[in-house]
Amino acid sequence: MSLTMNSKGVARRSDFVAISAAMIVPTRLCGISLYVCDQEDGQYRLFRAPNVPITLEWVERLEQGRHRKLFVSTHEHQEFQRYLQENIKEMVADESIPTTQRFALLNEVVRGVLGKELNSSDLDASIAKTEEMGHHVVELVCRSNVISSELCKLLYHDFHTFTHVANVSYYCVMLAKECGITAPDELRKVAVGAMLHDLGKSEISGAILTKPGKLTDHEFRIIKTHPTIGFLRLSKRTDLSFGQLMMVYQHHEHLDGTGYPVQVSGSEIHPWARICAVADVFEALTSNRPYRAGMNKDDAFRIMDRQMGTFFDVEVYEQWKTLMQKH
């Protein structure tokens, strides 16, 4: 393994990816070096060599100690992702791991999978993987002892499209449940529809998607094509339901008919698309952008109340507010 060293022989911050000690399942992780970051001098030091077995006792000691955060090298991060993906089914079902920790693990896996799959040209494989993730999301989000606003705190809030769709997916499942959709099969479809809702963005230039400041009319016209692009890519598939396709096609439509791409209104908008619309805007406002920090949820609700009051299905929006304000 080689890390890029600076002139003083110290590895750089960009050479490492932080992971939580909770992500380590004893006896399964091997072949990967684990590092800690020294708080005093900010240097990364080898904590566990790849050939040293990991025991439950060791993980417990780590969680109680001062090094709760571990690092893997960016070089080995893919290997770490593979380890998580191979073990996620078991970890999600493991009652001995607190639900919030299982959620953090799942979130890591979902982001990893979506980051890879959303840019893949093999749509069949991507959708199969997305469905597998949807299954885990519903399994975990539906556990009654988890508070939605607590789960939000565990999420990453960066500006990557895969982070956005992963978060929107958790939000949609929570919200759909609250709106009375309780059958696991339906919820799994909602989760997958949400993961696919911005698929069309993969064909739009990153320079436009992350542009700081106001978009030109031309750029905004390009952005507005993404629901149609995503819908056209998926519409011939027989493994997606009408509701899922509408999440992709209608998530930017507004109840008052001012949205896009078609400007349909009211009941012409599918209920799942209305759920996706609320989750989508809330996620976008509360996540960091390259040019601004994410808002707290009260500020996000203030903007959604004042500037978007007629955009959303009132009942769906009120359910979301109630859910997020529960402690």
DSSP, res 280:
H
* Closer of 152 and 194 to Fe ion (Cβ): 194
The dihedral sign for the CA sequence 109, 111, 115, 117 = positive
Of 155-163, 173-181, 191-199, 293-301, which part binds Fe ion (CB under 5 A)? 191-199
The CB-of-200 to Fe ion minimum distance in angstroms stands at 8
The window from 61-69, 194-202, 238-246, 254-262 that contacts Fe ion (CB under 5 A) reads 194-202
| C-alpha distances out from residue 251 to 85, 126, 228, 256, Å | 29, 21, 11, 13
By beta carbon distance, the residue nearest Fe ion is: 198
Q: How far is the CB of 251 from Fe ion (least distance, A)?
A: 6
- Shorter beta-carbon distance to Fe ion: residue 21 or 276: 276
Closer residue to Fe ion in complex, CB, 71/249: 249
Say how many residues touch Fe ion, by CB under 5 A: 1
Q: Indicate the residue among 44 and 320 with the shorter CB distance to Fe ion.
A: 320
DSSP annotation of 214: P
With binding defined as CB under 5 A, does residue 117 bind Fe ion? no
Q: Strand runs (DSSP E) across the chain, as ranges? A: 16-20, 34-37, 44-48, 69-73
Structure tokens at 327: 């402690």
**Helix (H, G, I), strand (E, B), or coil: what is residue 212?**
coil
Least Å distance, CB 165 to Fe ion, is 9
Among 198, 253, 283, 313, binds Fe ion (CB under 5 A): 198
By C-alpha distance, which of 103, 147, 172, 157 is closest to 300?
157
Identity of the residue, 76 or 198, whose beta carbon is nearer to Fe ion in the bound complex: 198
Considering only the stretches 44-52, 118-126, 195-203, 286-294, report the one whose residues sit in contact with Fe ion under the rule CB under 5 A: 195-203
Cβ 97 to Fe ion shortest distance, Å: 33
The closest of 294, 251, 306 to 273, measured between CA atoms, is 251
CA pair distance 315, 105, nearest whole angstrom: 32
Q: How far apart are CA 191 and CA 181, in angstroms?
A: 12
List contacts with Fe ion (CB under 5 A).
Answer: 198
